[in-house]
């Protein structure tokens, strides 16, 4: 296992380099630059700006400069927010997204697995149909639809919770729920499907035949084996949700990292695009490593040699 992890970490460095390289050139290939505005700045001023940020250098040189910075842990200054560095931006906004994401993932995992297991045990029953309908409903109404409805019901109508902004735990409830709904549905459906498969296996049937109670069979035999697809879905989900959702953060005005994903691209804020992407990539690859380790723990027959 130790050797496996070391090898994976080495591969991760290579993967990150590929991500940086591809993103770097993609970002510079799309038309427009960070200083294009509807009221175009005079050529001379644009030249000053480009010199300041080395945008006048040939592409390969900019690339080398960037690689050099990133190796030293410096993600550079933002073009859009000239008084802030990308390191600052990530440092300030990631904890916010991660905190929100933690609750969302927790809700999604807990509710999703419970609902999915119960549905599987009562296949074709009322709970099963109920959870299926809700899963499809929530998937068909994505967060940008659900979130304003939540705001209206719980904020404007009932005055229970603030409509938007960040600060207290009350501010966290609606965005966390909005974030959690979709994944909850997916996890419930995944758990149900793989649970059904596991339940039809001989060893589970046998356990049942031996007279073990449904719940015991579920927990001891079925759940563990049924969790592999859920884990596969869950870990990249953690990477995605912890690093923030653009839509939910924008709707609830949350100062998280997710907002920078999309806006930095619209702004052609090259350093932010790259910084945020690399950060996400590293997080994602680590999560997938954790997923693989979890497989091995869940199913000792899996070996990575």
Partner 1 sequence: MKKFRVFLTLLLVFGLIFGMFVGCGEQKQEQSQGQEQKAEMVLRYNLGTEPETLDPAKATGVPEMTVMLHTFDGLTRLDRDGKPQPAVAESWEVKDNGKTYIFHLRKDVKWSDGQPVTAHDFEFAWKRALSPEIASEYAYQLYYIKNGEKYNTGEITDPNEVGVKALDDYTLQVELEQPAPYFLSLVAFPTLYPLPEHVLKAHPEWPKGIDKDPSLYVTNGPFVLAEWSHHDKLVLKKNPNYFDKDKVKLDKLVFYMVEDANTAVQMFENGEVDMIDNIPTAQIDQWKGKPEFHIDPILGTYYILVNVGSDKTMGGEKNPLQDVRVRKAIAMAINRSVITDKILKAGQQPAYAFVPPGIPDAEPGTDFRQVGGNYFSEDVQKAKELLAEAGYPDGKGFPKLIYLYNTSEGHKKIGEAIQSMLKENLGIEMELQNQEWKVYLQSRNEGQFDLARAGWLGDYVDPMTFLDMFVSTSGNNDTGWSNPQYDELIEKAKYETDNAKRVQYMHEAEKILMEDMPIIPLYFYTNPRLVKTYVKNYAAISLGWVDFKEAYIQK
Partner 2 sequence: MSMDIRVEELKDKSLWEPIPESEKMGAEALTAPQVTFWGDVWRRFRKNRLAVIGLVLLVIILLFALVGPLVSPYPYDKQDYNAILEPPNFAHPFGTDYVGRDLFTRVMYGARISLAVGFLAAMVQLVIGVLYGGISGFMGGKVDEIMMRIVDIMYAIPILLIVILLMVVLGPGLVNIFLALGFFYWLGMARIVRSQILTLKEEEFVLAARVLGASTKRLLLRHLIPNAMGPVIVTVTLNIPNAIFTEAFLSYIGLGVSAPMASLGSLASDGVEYIRTAPWLMLFPALTIALIALAFNFVGDGLRDSLDPRLRR
Binding site for partner 2 (CB under 8 A): 7-8, 11-12, 14-15, 18-19, 22-23, 26-27, 29-31, 132-133, 135-137, 139-142, 144-145, 148-149, 152, 185-186, 189-190, 192-194, 196-197, 200-203, 206-207, 209-210, 225, 228-229, 231-233, 236, 261-262, 265, 273, 277, 280-281, 284-285, 288, 291, 295, 299, 301-302, 304-305
**Comparison of 18 and 45: residue with beta carbon closer to partner 2:** 18
Measured CA to CA, the distance from residue 270 to residue 253 in angstroms comes to: 23
Reported as type and span, the H/E element at residue 170 is helix 169-199
CB 198 within 8 A of CB 204: yes
What is the CA angle 295-98-178, rounded to 5?
95
Partner interacting with residue 122 (select from partner 2, partner 1, none; CB below 5-8 Å by kind): none
Q: What is the DSSP annotation of 138-158?
A: HHHS-HHHHHHHHIIIIIIIT
Select the binding partner of residue 22 from partner 2, partner 1, none (C-beta < 5 to 8 A, by kind). partner 2
Q: What are phi and psi of 77, to 5 degrees?
A: -85, 155
Among residues 16, 28, 63, 95, which is the contact residue for partner 1, using CB under 8 A? 95
Work out how close the CB of 249 gets to partner 1 at its nearest, in angstroms, rounded to a whole number.
8
CB 141 within 8 A of CB 177: no
* Binding residue (CB under 8 A) for partner 1 from 14, 58, 60, 83: 83
Residue from 253, 282, 288, 292 touching partner 1 (CB under 8 A): that is 253
* Category of 168 on φ-ψ map: left (φ > 0), alpha (ψ -120 to 50) or beta: beta
Window 125-154: residues binding partner 1 (CB under 8 A): 148, 151-152
- The one of partner 1, partner 2, none whose footprint includes residue 257, by CB under 5 to 8 A per kind, is none
- Shortest Å distance, C-beta 57 to partner 1: 15
Cα 94-268-95 angle, rounded to 5 deg: 5
Q: Largest Cα–Cα distance of the chain, in whole Å?
A: 84
With CB under 8 A as the contact rule, the residue among 10, 22, 26, 106 that binds partner 1 is: 106
């Amino acid at each position: 296992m130790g050797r496996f992890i070391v090898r994976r970490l080495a591969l991760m460095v290579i993967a990150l380099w590929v991500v940086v390289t591809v993103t770097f050139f993609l970002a510079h290939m799309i038309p427009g630059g960070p200083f294009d505005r509807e009221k175009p700045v005079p050529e001379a001023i644009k030249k000053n700006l480009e010199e300041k940020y080395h945008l006048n250098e040939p592409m390969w040189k900019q690339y080398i400069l960037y690689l050099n910075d990133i190796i030293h842990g410096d993600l550079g200054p933002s073009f859009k927010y000239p008084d802030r560095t990308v390191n600052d931006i990530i440092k300030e906004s990631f904890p916010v997204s991660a905190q929100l994401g933690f609750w969302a993932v927790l809700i999604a995992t807990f509710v999703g697995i419970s609902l999915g297991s119960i549905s599987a045990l009562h296949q074709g029953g009322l709970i099963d149909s109920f959870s299926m309908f809700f899963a499809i409903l929530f998937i068909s109404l994505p967060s940008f639809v659900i979130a304003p409805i939540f705001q209206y019901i719980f904020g404007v109508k009932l005055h229970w919770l603030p409509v938007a902004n960040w600060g207290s735990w009350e501010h966290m409830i609606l965005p966390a729920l909005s974030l959690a709904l979709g994944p909850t549905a997916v996890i419930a459906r995944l758990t149900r499907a793989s649970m059904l498969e596991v339940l039809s296996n001989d060893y589970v049937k046998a356990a049942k035949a031996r007279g073990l109670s449904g719940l015991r069979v579920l927990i001891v035999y079925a759940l563990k084996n049924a969790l592999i697809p859920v884990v596969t879905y869950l870990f990249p989900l953690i990477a995605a949700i912890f690093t923030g959702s653009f839509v939910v953060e924008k709707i609830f005005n949350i100062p998280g990292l997710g907002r920078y994903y999309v806006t930095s691209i619209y702004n052609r804020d090259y350093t932010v695009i790259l910084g945020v992407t690399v950060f996400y990539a590293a997080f994602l690859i680590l999560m997938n490593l954790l997923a693989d380790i979890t497989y091995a723990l869940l199913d000792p027959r899996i070996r990575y040699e």
